Amino acid sequence: MSFWVINLVTALLSFVIAGVSGIFLVPFLHKIKFGQPIKTEDGPKWHAKKQGTPTMGGFMFIISTIITAIAGYWIYRWKTGIDTTDSESFKMFYRLLSCIIFAASFGFLGFIDDYKKVAQKKNDGLTPWQKIAIQVICGGGFLFAIRYFGDKSTKIDLGFWSTPSLGIFYYILMMLVIIYLTNAVNLTDGVDGLCGSVTFVAMLIFTVCCSILKQNEMTCYTMALAGGCLGFLLWNLNPAKCFMGDTGSMFLGASVTAISLILHKHLLMILVALVYIIEALSVVIQVSYFKYTKKKYGEGRRIFKMTPIHHHFEMSGFSEYKIVITFSLCGIIFGVLGIITLLAF
C-alpha cells in the first residue's frame, strides 16, 4: 500500500465519520437546545433566521480527525517498515501527538466558550482575557513539545532569508503568532461553509508541503482534517443545518498554527494562512480607524461596512456561496504561491 493510498484512505474514512456523525449529532443538539445565539444589531439582519441553529458541530471533524490521523499514522509505519525499536523514529509521532493534543485543547477551550453561550442564551462566552490566558498556557506547552522533540531552531525562515537565532525572543514571537492566528481562524467562521472550506484548502496545501519537506507522517493529520472538514461541510454549507461553533473553529485554528510551526517555514505559513490573516487584520484596521476618527472628529468612522471582511462582502451583495468560493479560490492561489516559494528556496 503506497503512501498516497494511505493518505486517501485516511481522508475518505475521516470524511465518512464526520458526515455520518452529523446524522446523530445534529438531532441531539436540537434536542438539548444547543442553538447558536445570533447578534444582528450591527450586522446583516437576515442572519436572524439562523437563530437557534445547532452549534458545536465541530465535534464531527474533531472526532474523525483524531481517530483517523492516529490510525493512518500507524498504518503508515506498518506498511513502510519503519523500525519501531528505534526511539528516534518516535519523535515524529510525538510531534504529531503534540499537534493533536494542542488542537484538542483549543477545541476544549472553544467548547467551554460555546457552552457558556448556549447555557446563558447570550452571544458572549469567556472574556477575552480568559481566552488569552488559556491560549498562552496551551501554546507554551506546544512550543516546549516541538522543541523537546527535535526542532531547536530559533530562526525565522522566510525562504529567501533567515534571521539569526533569536533565542527566547523566537518563542515569544511564536506565542503571539499562536494567539493571532488561532483567533483569526475563529473570526473566519461567520458565513455558512466559509471556515470549513478555507481550512479544507489549507490542509490540502499543507499535505503537499509536508511531502516536499519529507515530513510524511504529518500528512496523516492534514489529510484526516481535510476529510473531516469536507464531511462537516455536508451539514454546514448554506443553508447550514449546524455550525461548528468555537469548539470547531478553535480546533481548526490550532491545527493550522501547529502544522505551520512544526514545518518551521514562516513564509509558507503566512501565505497558506493569508485568508485568515486578512480576516483578522480587517478587524484590527476597522477598530483602530474607528477609535482614531472618534478621537479626532468626535464620531467614529468605518472603512468597511462590517468586519471581519467576509461580512463587508456579504453586505455589499455577495451571496454566502459566492463568498465561500471567492475566499477558497484565494486560499488556493496563496497556497500555490507558498508551494512555489518552498520549491524555489
pLDDT in tens, 318-338: 999 999 999 999 999 999 999
Tens of pLDDT along the chain (345 residues) come to 577 899 999 999 999 999 999 999 999 998 888 876 666 555 566 566 777 789 999 999 999 999 999 999 988 888 777 665 566 667 888 999 999 999 999 999 999 999 988 877 666 668 889 999 999 999 999 999 999 998 899 999 998 899 999 999 999 999 999 999 999 999 999 899 999 999 999 999 999 999 999 998 899 999 999 999 999 999 999 999 999 999 999 999 999 999 999 999 999 999 999 999 999 999 999 999 999 999 999 899 999 999 999 999 999 999 999 999 999 999 999 999 999 999 998
Amino acid at 148: Y
What's the mean per-residue pLDDT of the chain?
91
Condensed to tens digits (0 to 9), the pLDDT of residues 82-95 reads 665 566 667 888 99
How high is the pLDDT of residue 80?
75
How high is the pLDDT of residue 83?
63
How high is the pLDDT of residue 50?
73
How high is the pLDDT of residue 48?
63
Condensed to tens digits (0 to 9), the pLDDT of residues 96-116 reads 999 999 999 999 999 999 998
Condensed to tens digits (0 to 9), the pLDDT of residues 278-317 reads 999 999 999 999 999 999 998 999 999 999 999 999 999 9
How high is the pLDDT of residue 82?
67
